[in-house]
Amino acid sequence: MTRREMLNGMLATLLLFASGCVVEDRSGRRHDTYYYYPDYEIYFYPRVARYYWRERDEWRWGPNPPPRYTLRDRDRVRFDWDREPHRDHDRVRQKYPPGRRDRD
């Protein structure tokens, strides 16, 4: 492994750690930062670099969203949640309905 490859690997690792934000409330519960794309009903969890989406009433996940979607930062909302938000999808969807234009 060359020195340049090692440096690139270290930089990538640092970026992964820096991309997720963890917030703790007074109850001691941990809150992680998530991004939600309401028009597509897709979540992104930056701390683990994972997308969540629903297909045929089942939640799927992976390092990339399905290729049929083009996700743009301007189309997302950011929030802190104390568990994986797709588990509370009805509540998230009600708060951030598709077509909403006040993004982060």
Domain-embedded: residue 69:
yes
Domain-embedded: residue 102:
no
Q: What is the DSSP string of 19-86?
A: H--EEE-TTS-EEEEEEEETTTTEEEETTTTEEEEEETTEEEEESS--TT----GGG-EEEEESS-GG
Domain-embedded: residue 103:
no
pLDDT tens sequence across 64-91: 999 999 999 999 999 887 777 778 888 8
> Whole domain around residue 19: which residue ranges?
3-95
Domain-embedded: residue 101:
no
Domain-embedded: residue 47:
yes
Structurally, the chain folds into a number of domains equal to 1
pLDDT for residue 45 is more than 70: yes
